[in-house]
Amino acid sequence: MSKITGGLPILDLGIIVIYLAAMILVGIYFSRRNKSAEQFTKASGLIPGWAIGLSIYATFLSSNTFLGVPGKAFGGNWNAFVFSISMPLAAWVAARYFVPFYRSTGEISAYTHFEHRFGPWARTYAVICFLLTQLARMGSIFFGIALSLQALTGYSMQLIMIVMGLCIIIYTVMGGIEAVIWTEVVQAVVKTFGALLILYLILINLPGGAETVIETGRRANKFSLGSFAPDFRESSFWVILLYGFFINLNNFGMDQNYVQRYHTAASPQAARRSIWLCVVLYVPASLLFFIIGSCLFAYYNQHPELIESIRHQVALERLPPGSSAEAVTALQQSLEPADYGDKVMPHFMVTKIPAGLVGLIVSAILSAAMSTISSGMNASATVFSEDIYQRYFSKNMNDRQRLRLLYVATTFFGLLGMFAGVAMIGVKSILDVWWELSGMFAAGMLGLFLLGLISRRTGNHAAMTATAIGLLIILWMSFSHLLPETYSELRNPLHKNMVIVVGTLGIFLAGLLFTRLYGARKATRKHT
């Protein structure tokens, strides 16, 4: 089989090119319907619930799951699967309370109601938090797919991000939310099939098959969900459960990617069903990727020479060019499985998957990346248009001007996502960096949202004070590890995934406290 320069067979390259071209053609097809801003952002509310559910599932099942989850399972255990276990409870809250709330407002933006509740500052603050979260998400996904394709093709990560990013921008700009949803329906099927194919190929290359995986994993404690002790300083079962509940509550209740889909449904009932369809599909799908990681661990456990090859490559990447052989060897020997877990699946694809199938699997990984990035671009453009530009710069835009603005904003945020991906080159774990950044940015807006939804008495001043306190807590928990050793007692003792838990509760509880204090002060003034 002839190959291109980087080592990817031409057949596989052809499959990937056909897939990318098909996505662009989808955008062209739906572009004929995008004659208004409402069609671009809501698809006129005519998308069936099952399609929305598959779309949300596809957004959850990003390339962070495809590459990051097997990497975590390879380098550690199944502790991160507790995140998925927390989804049903968050989905119940969202279906019961959030969907009716958003459908009743009629606002396409998830953040417009912040201004109605607390004033313009709250709306702007929530939008900034959301846009930072989206840049972190898109950047981590761009980096993850570039990491995989670089191992296959030899091309630079920057070039891979640019080519893929341009394809995503074209079909997202042309097709709007309708193209995003329907391509995600296809991508949901493609990426699930790709995961099953990877699992099958690992097992047929592993002597003993599933029995070897179970035995090897049992000896290495690979199936552990983490410690059940009430310890919030380490990544225990309870830390990930709390993190998962709060981040999924943010996803279903605050993330424009999902809230916007509630408006595309024909009815509130269809929107609720879409949430539950996502949960029913995602929980077993995420388990599948942990199984893949454990299978890879068993396979490479039988081939230590391949592990040394991966460790050597990671050492070369982390050291400056021209480093001595001794320095490379020293770093190589110090690396732990968690340091190179994200590299294992791309390495397996390069060395063990036959020509033709590689193209299918890469297309599945591409679909995992493209679905999340395209929805992030569309959601970011919608929020920027509704909550920033039309709010502060041009309130009386006609429909054609709004549609043009959405096109420009979608392109802009796609380019920003690419730059964020380039900035992440060299991070240790895709999943870790995404979880850390998302927890940091989401904590502030989720706490404020819950405060406004639950406490009807909380006013502008109480909410602003609580948010300021919550921000200080979030900043301290996120960056206190940078304090010098002299001030080590001032560092955050909790695990970094507790940022969203403590930050959210900090804003919510402080808001309730200041509501009572301000209320008591007003009552005192009235009586005097």
What is the pLDDT, as a whole number, of residue 345?
A: 82
C-beta neighbour count of 117 within 10 angstroms:
19
Short-list 37, 38, 124, 109, CA closest to 405:
37
State residue 35's pLDDT score.
Answer: 61
> Which residue type sits at 283?
V
Alpha helices by DSSP H, listed for 119-156, are 120-153
pTM, full prediction? 0.80
Helix/strand/coil for 159: helix
What pLDDT does 149 receive?
A: 74
Owner of token pair 């904590």: 443
From 498, 428, 353, select the one nearest 68 (Cα to Cα): 428
What is the Cα–Cα distance from 174 to 525, expressed in whole angstroms? Answer: 59
Q: How far apart are alpha carbons 109 and 309 in whole angstroms?
A: 49
Domain boundaries, the chain: 10-527
Which CATH superfamily does the domain covering 10-527 fall into?
Answer: Sodium/glucose cotransporter (1.20.1730.10)
| Ranges of the chain with pLDDT below 70 | 1-8, 27, 30-46, 63-64, 151-153, 175-180, 368, 371, 426-432, 434-435, 519-528
Q: What angle, 0 to 180 degrees and rounded to 10, lies between the N-to-C axes of helices 357-383 and 49-60?
A: 100
Distance CA 179, CA 245 (A): 30
Give the C-alpha separation, 139 to 438, whole Å.
12
CB 340 within 8 A of CB 72: no
The pLDDT value given to residue 81: 93
For residue 359, what are its two tokens?
């193209």
